[in-house]
Amino acid sequence: MRAFLASSIGVVCTAALALPLALNPAPAHARAEPAGLQGGIQSLPLLPLDGDRGAVAPGRDRGAAAQSVRPFSLVGVVWAHPSADLRAQVQVRTRAIGSGVWSPWRDLQPYGEEAPDPDSPERQGVRAHGGTAPLWVGDSDGVQARVHPGVPDPVSGPAGDVSGPSGTATGASGAASGLPSGAASGIAGLPSGTASGLPSGTASGLPSGTASGLPSGISGLPSGTASGLPSGLRLELVDPGEAAAPASAVRALPPHPVPTPTPTPSPGSARPSAKPAGEPSPDRSPHPSHYPSADPLPDSSARTPSEPQAGAPMVSVAAHTAPRPRIITRAGWGANEKLREKGHVYSKTVKVAFIHHTVTGNKYSCSQVPSVLRSIYRYHVQSMGWRDYGYNFTIDKCGNIYEGRSGGVTKAVRGAHTLGFNTNSMGVAVLGTYSTKKPSAKAVKAVAKLTAWKLGLYKRNPRGSTHLVSGGGNRYKKGANVKLHVISGHRDGFATACPGKRLYGKLKSIRSTAARLQGR
């Protein structure tokens, strides 16, 4: 069946290359930015390919093209409602600045499973949207996109990349297999005064008159809604902007030696100070003035994470600990703190580290990583409508570890990385796509170092298992008490291909290395 569908998709895409892309030129929509903020997002609507400005038919192929836009480096597709599922093949290609050369067509991967929990204010807010994973494309000034509805459920990922912890398929029994409701797009078109088609003689677009809607008898649609693409479908072009501080001022939390366990105070004895003299509070948002390179976070030998409530009692350091690795702070990669929501949301503890890949592609240099992170940050906050960067930590292929969501690297900061399991967990994303490409040894080692340290603060054995209560998802229903590895792959909690077959295959060695670093 998969071979037949793949063949069918190939026919569709081959036919698409022989047809022009018809679009209605109109002004581009630029996302409003805080005053003085550099960088930004351009939005292009994905319109019917026959150029009809009337009501958008649910199953009609969509596309967008712009030969002249402001420079951007990352691209993704978003739509109006975060719970709507995009069952379609989405492809883009881009033109590098100054080259005049178009990249090959590349797929945008599903992203619905890397999100805030279903009932969280972050997902239920008016700003929240659904979206694909963003793709890093480097400095570009032209873009073409095409969307063909009705392809197989993208949650399974590439062929051969669908196994879970026991080697079985991770697709949820009875999971929705249809398309969400369609509606008129309502977003403006391409920049006025620029060509709205493709370069002369260039093949592009999707075939007009191709099959629309869903196969007969398909299930999983919301009651009383039409099958088709989600409403408000648009292409997002992200410019990361400049770093908030000069690149020479990269701020990193230097590694710490293994702390000496502090005995738990006996009744009536003095407790360790909640804030050792001269040290910043880890509850405060990382900022250049808070975490300069010469002023690291408090040593975990002096304190360990506590619950976020004021006056919470301190706990002793776990018997099995690991040194803190070098961590590049948000200030180090240039996060603009004006973008995110104020304040932070915490869990009580960290029981599980979920490992992800960002699915943003592997064509980046390690010197570009701060720009990649700033782009993802903008996409998460301004395009997807999240309160902050989704992952708690990100690791590049050179083994550098970056602070992700703000709130303190030692704290149980609640992220938006594993739909249904963000409470009492942390998300660690390896920058890149690892379905077929092997992750670097440096990245794998960095994952082990980071998880050994952070899980050690919360007395977790990297080789062990624990339980989390599901907040709802396509693999476990809301309220299910799920047994998970302390170091789990994203697919262990959700029916997804993440973190890719090649990275998922490294988790056993990561658990062993992390346990050894903890002295187990």
The answer, yes or no, to whether residue 318 has pLDDT greater than 80, is no
Neighbours of 5 (CB within 10 A): 11
Mean pLDDT, rounded, for 49-74: 77
390-412 tens-digit pLDDT = 999 999 999 999 999 999 999 99
Question: Six-digit token pair at 120?
Answer: 């969280």
Answer for the pair 432, 362: CB distance below 8 angstroms, yes or no.
Answer: yes
Answer for the pair 58, 227: CB distance below 8 angstroms, yes or no.
Answer: yes
**Which domains are delineated in the chain?**
247-259+283-517 (3.40.80.10)
> How far is residue 89's CA from residue 293's CA, in Å, rounded to a whole number?
45
List the Cα angle 307/308/309 in 5-degree steps. 95
> How far is residue 117's CA from residue 157's CA, in Å, rounded to a whole number?
22
pLDDT at 256: 78
> How far is residue 404's CA from residue 454's CA, in Å, rounded to a whole number?
14
Question: Cα 436 vs. chain centroid, distance in angstroms?
Answer: 19
> How far is residue 332's CA from residue 246's CA, in Å, rounded to a whole number?
9
> How far is residue 118's CA from residue 470's CA, in Å, rounded to a whole number?
10
The answer, yes or no, to whether residue 325 has pLDDT greater than 80, is yes
Least confident of 96-110, 208-222, 268-282: 208-222
The answer, yes or no, to whether residue 277 has pLDDT greater than 50, is no
Write out the H or E segment, with its range, that includes residue 145: strand 135-149
pLDDT at 119: 84
pLDDT at 60: 78
How far is the CA of 496 from the CAs of 77, 123, 330, 445, in angstroms?
19, 19, 28, 24
What single-letter DSSP state applies at residue 428? E
> How far is residue 143's CA from residue 137's CA, in Å, rounded to a whole number?
10
Confidence tier at 121 by pLDDT (50, 70, 90): confident
Higher-confidence residue: 184 or 340? 340
pLDDT at 206: 36
161-174 tens-digit pLDDT = 544 544 443 433 33
Answer for the pair 66, 190: CB distance below 8 angstroms, yes or no.
Answer: yes
The answer, yes or no, to whether residue 26 has pLDDT greater than 90, is no
Concatenate the DSSP letters of all residues of 48-100 into one string. Answer: ETB---S---TT--EEEEESS---EEEEEEEES-TT----EEEEEEEEETTT-
Answer for the pair 117, 124: CB distance below 8 angstroms, yes or no.
Answer: no
Q: In terms of DSSP H, where are the helices of 368-468?
A: 369-378, 441-457
Residues above pLDDT 90, as percent of the chain: 49
pLDDT at 78: 95
Mean pLDDT, rounded, for 126-151: 91
Least confident of 3-17, 143-157, 419-433: 3-17
pLDDT at 247: 54
List the Cα angle 264/265/271 in 5-degree steps. 115
Higher-confidence residue: 91 or 117? 91
> How far is residue 330's CA from residue 249's CA, in Å, rounded to a whole number?
12
Answer for the pair 520, 463: CB distance below 8 angstroms, yes or no.
Answer: yes
Least confident of 221-225, 259-263, 469-473: 221-225
Confidence tier at 242 by pLDDT (50, 70, 90): confident
- Classify 354 as helix, strand or coil: strand
Confidence tier at 113 by pLDDT (50, 70, 90): confident
- The backbone torsions φ and ψ at residue 175, rounded to the nearest 5 degrees and listed phi first, read -65, 150
Higher-confidence residue: 330 or 87? 330
pLDDT at 168: 40
> How far is residue 148's CA from residue 320's CA, in Å, rounded to a whole number?
52
Q: Which residues contact 270 (CB under 8 A, 6 or more apart)?
A: none
Question: Six-digit token pair at 232?
Answer: 């408000």
Q: Of how many residues is the chain composed?
A: 520
> How far is residue 151's CA from residue 37's CA, in Å, rounded to a whole number?
39
For the chain, what is the mean pLDDT? Answer: 74
Highest mean pLDDT among 87-91, 197-201, 327-331, 477-481: 327-331
pLDDT at 173: 35
